[in-house]
Amino acid sequence: MKYLKHWTGPLPDFKGFDPLPHWDIAEKYNLIDFKLGVKITGSGFPVFRGKGAKLERALINFFLQEAENAGYEEIMPPLMVNEETARATGQLPDKEAQMYHIKLDNFYLIPTAEVPVTNLLRGEILAKADLPVKLTAYTPCFRREAGSYGSDVKGLNRVHQFDKVEIVQIADPATSYEALQQMLDHVEQLLIKLELPYRILRLCGGDMGFTSALTYDFEVFSAAQKKWLEVSSVSNFETFQSNRLKLRYRDGDSKPQLAHTLNGSALALARIVAAILENNQDQDGVNIPKVLQDFTGFNRI
Report, as residue numbers or ranges, the catalytic residues.
143, 158, 230, 233, 271
The Cβ-side half-sphere exposure at 88, using a 13 Å CA radius, reads: 20
Length in residues, the chain: 301
The Cβ-side half-sphere exposure at 114, using a 13 Å CA radius, reads: 26
Radius of gyration of the CA atoms of the chain, in A: 20
The Cα 82–Cα 63 span in angstroms is: 28
Helix/strand/coil (H/E/C) assignment for every residue in the chain = CEEEEECCCCCCCCCCCCCCCHHHHHHHCCCEEHHHHHHHCCCCCCEECCHHHHHHHHHHHHHHHHHHHCCCEEECCCCEEEHHHHHHCCCCCCCHHHCCEECCCCEEECCCCHHHHHHCCCCCEEEHHHCCEEEEEEEEEECCCCCCCCHHHCCCCCCCEEEEEEEEEEECHHHHHHHHHHHHHHHHHHHHHCCCCEEEEECCHHHCCCCCCEEEEEEEEECCCCEEEEEEEEEEEECHHHHHHCCEEECCCCCCEECEEEEEEEEEHHHHHHHHHHHCEECCEEECCHHHHHHHCCCEC
